[in-house]
Homo-oligomer: A and B are copies of this chain.
């Protein structure tokens, strides 16, 4: 995945991948408390990560798709600090973290890549905090849809159409909203002609309108 390697280096990076693992929809890739050994590169499929409070409340902390890395929550304590659940049948590459560290001591490019991935996650979570702390329901959903479609587009998929892999409840958990509120926001966008919604199929008709909702100030 990182660029700028020689053929030989690339080969060594590939060798870090210990094995492929298939995860069926609904199954856990790893769970809270489990010993941490590896990072996982998602090859296909879609995951959610979530944390649970002592009294059982669940907070979805992220949705991850092909090409993204999960498991970094486990490094600090050698145990995972969240659950990773496949939202559709998935395949991941298991990368033992000890091997990643060994090789990244030899390849500065890999080392930098690992640091960037973790930094990116920190920055992403910063913006989620902004969402949860300051935005209203429709702003949150607009931001969510724009982010999702942007990531899908970067993978060669449509800029305007997407299939949600998660329920309204999971979207709500991620955005700090109840499922009914998410549903109402979808309906509102739909009535306003901004999107078309048919179950989990969403078509973005007016991306500009979504951006405007996400960030009203830009348009003054």
**Chain A 78-114 interface mask (CB, 8 Å, partner B; 1/0):** 0001100000000000000000010011101001101
A78–B108 Cα distance when bound, in Å, is 16
Quick check: B130 and A53 within 8 Å, CB to CB?
A: yes
Q: Is A176 an interface residue (CB 8 A)?
A: yes
Cα distance, A173 to B134, chains bound together (Å): 8
The reply to whether B81 and A123 form a contact with Cβ atoms under 8 Å apart is yes
- Closest B residue to A128 by beta carbon equals B129
Contact of B123 with A57 in the complex, beta carbons under 8 Å: no
Q: Tell me the bound Cα distance from A130 to B53 in angstroms.
A: 8
Indicate whether A8 reaches chain B with its CB closer than 8 angstroms.
Answer: no
Closest Cβ of chain B to A118, distance in Å, is 4
- Whether the pair A76, B125 counts as a contact (CB closer than 8 A) is no
Docked-complex contact B51 and A127, CB < 8 angstroms = yes
The reply to whether B122 and A73 form a contact with Cβ atoms under 8 Å apart is yes
Question: Is B217 a contact of A56 with CB atoms below 8 Å?
Answer: yes
Complex Cα distance, B131 from A133, in Å, reads 10
B111/A101 in contact, CB under 8 A: yes
> Is B215 a contact partner of A54 (Cβ separation < 8 A)?
yes
Contact B216 A134, beta carbon cutoff 8 Å: no
**Extra pairs beyond A76-B119, A101-B112, A118-B118 (20, CB < 8 Å):** A51-B126, A53-B130, A54-B215, A54-B218, A55-B216, A55-B217, A58-B134, A61-B129, A75-B115, A75-B119, A76-B120, A82-B126, A101-B111, A104-B105, A105-B105, A105-B111, A118-B122, A125-B125, A125-B128, A129-B129
Task: Please provide the 8 A-B residue pairs with the shortest distance between their CB atoms, ordered closest to farther.
Answer: A55-B217, A75-B119, A133-B176, A132-B132, A125-B125, A76-B119, A118-B118, A59-B130
A residues adjacent to B (C-beta < 8 A): 51, 53-59, 61, 72-77, 81-82, 101, 104-106, 108, 111-112, 114-116, 118-123, 125-130, 132-134, 173-176, 215-218
